[in-house]
A and B are shown apart, each in its own frame.
Chain A
Amino acid sequence: MSTPSRVMVLCCPGLRGQDATPAAARRFDRVVAVVTGFCPRVEVTEPGVCAFAARGPARYFGGETALATKIIAALAELGEPGQAGAAEGLFAALLAARQADPVRLVPPGQTVSFLAVQPVTVLGRESTGSESMDLAGLFGRLGLRTLGDLAALPAADVASRFGDAGETAHRLARGLDARPLAPRSPPADLSVTQEFDPPETLAEPVVFAAKALAERLHAGLAARGLTCVRVQAKATWADGRENSRLWRHDGLLTAAALADRVRWQLDGGPAATDGDYYPPGGIATLRLAPDQVVHATGQQLALWGETVISDRVARAAMRVQALLGHEAVLRPVLSGGRNISDQVTAIPFGEKSEPRLAPDRPWPGRVIGAAPGLVFRAARQAEVTDAAGHLVTVSGRCELSAEPARLSVAGDPPCRITGWAGPWPLSERWWDGAAARRRARFQLATEDGRAWLAVVTGGHWLVEAGYW
């Protein structure tokens, strides 16, 4: 078996092992983007670690040391400390990167001797799976202190005694990789742009160009066997203003239909006036970019279970979307959740209707019974006082300071309370600092015949919903 080629590994110790946090993933994505600037084909082996074949870029940048130093410097500009290591094979390069300060290059041909002095415990740390962790401990107990000790054993004996995992460990110890690098190719830019010089002041040529652009976009997608879920249409005016909007595509729109949407978008845009004339200097660029590119697998209409949206409704909804924006026309979906405001998910028209919280779960702690006719978008400030006029407070043990007697909601005259129930405590998501909520709910009926859903949180009274 031939020796693996040179591999350079870059690891960001701060971002390693934090795959659970999206923030760390985003930061590492920026790191990968920087590395892609040096070498386009990069493999992300695990969170915080990426690898690429070093031979080509090293020759271009004048040696591995120069390449590694340049990358580390670029990352330092980003604010991410990084370590780079290079060796023959991914495993050795990874070990080198771990020990780097900040660059550690194993000279060509010395990878096996570099590996031979490594303690056998690195197998457990660097390879994946708990199996190799156990195996590393077992090797240690058997007196194999270094990878060199392990590599000195006959491969067949290791395989027969320790099975597949042992064989893999033995290969790694000898400087052979389990697999070659599998770098990802950078995604192709499938967006299409049309520039108007001089800027176009009439609508008709822009829409006509949009149709040609849409055809180019579709051809580019089709050549790769792709389709897109949404299309972003972005118009830039000569004075620098931009108008960008996402349109549902799903591979269903024809070029003419997409051009129609561009026309609606421009008609509803900030610069639209009556007629087909765009006053502030005209449109300079029009760009169509596919959003959420997926493999084209064909379209299958729903057999049942999905409400069929007639063309008439879809046209009306999309005309309103053209006027007000994609997120202005919503379809409600009943959802689960303990709070009234969670129990409806509003999804922009044209997107997949999925409730944010599963509606078929029990959701203990939600307010049961009649549903309120009004759910205020933002809870309204309120004050609930007792008969003496003092603010009613709720203790940490959910004890009321006094019976509520009067309710005054901001903007409404105060009202006598004729019936009340509560407090119903709710402590949600206490494990998540940002989303944690602790509140006590009440239902209050007032003398004008209405009823309210009131909430005490942080010592303040809020009214979340109205029953009338």
Chain B
Amino acid sequence: MPDHARAQARREWANFGLFLGPALLLLFVFFVAPIVIDLVLAFTDMGRTLAVGKFTFENFERMFTRDTRLLGALGVTFVFVLLTLGIFNVTFALMLALMTTAVPPRLGAFFRAVWLLPRMSPSVVYALLWLWVVDPNERGLLNQIVINVFDMPAIDLRNNHPLLLIILANGFIGASLGMLIFTSAIRSIPEHLFHAARVDGAGAFAIVRHITLPALRWPISYMTIHQSLSLLVSFEYILLITGGGPFYDTTVFSLYAYRRAFETGEYAYGAALSLILVVIGVVAALALWRLMDMKQLLQPPRIEVH
């Protein structure tokens, strides 16, 4: 049967190429190769004309010995990720999921749809809305309320509480993903558990504490890691709303790398800075890996016929 075996092998390869080839090609050219390039760029002096003059360790020397803003950026990142995650992406997401599943289904779906609005809006529009909300003069939406309803002087979140502003702006978007995932998790809890608990006289809080939360343990850990990772690296809304300012107050680390690269054209230094993020990203991804339902993910496929 050598002929048959060869034909079989050929078909296997053909299938591999057909099904996985496009994905591998795309990922390699636009994802894996750039990672390698980034690694190389970090050791060059590439400046604003994109020309590489020499290979050097200077970027790392500067990063670790002379960069006075680096620690500050890491600190801002830490506070930003911790608070956004703690307040919105997990806690508030959980509250939304619990509440929207406790009210009649249609209303619950309505409120979930409202909370998904920011995620569905283009980032430029979303950022624009925030800028209009916190506009420091009396025309700003927030100030219209502050001045007319509470009779207080106009407030300027962008200058006086910039960190709060970016936490709010990111949190309003971040809460929706957790909300969706927790909602499906709550829905997949067998209905009879709730009935049994009610028969036993458990109150709403007891039910949440003893039935819902245990069932959500896994989704919550997943969301925590996944969201801290995406908060760690995303800076789009911050860039659009505060530009990382005032001064460096809202410059999280990923934005710091971006600003270094694109504000004055120090591309190599930006690449070196992003390497730190890459390391953090890979470590976190591995942690996620352990958390994932490995058995299910790696479960051998069920059909072997090519």
Do A and B originate from a single complex? no
Residues of B within 8 A of A (CB): none
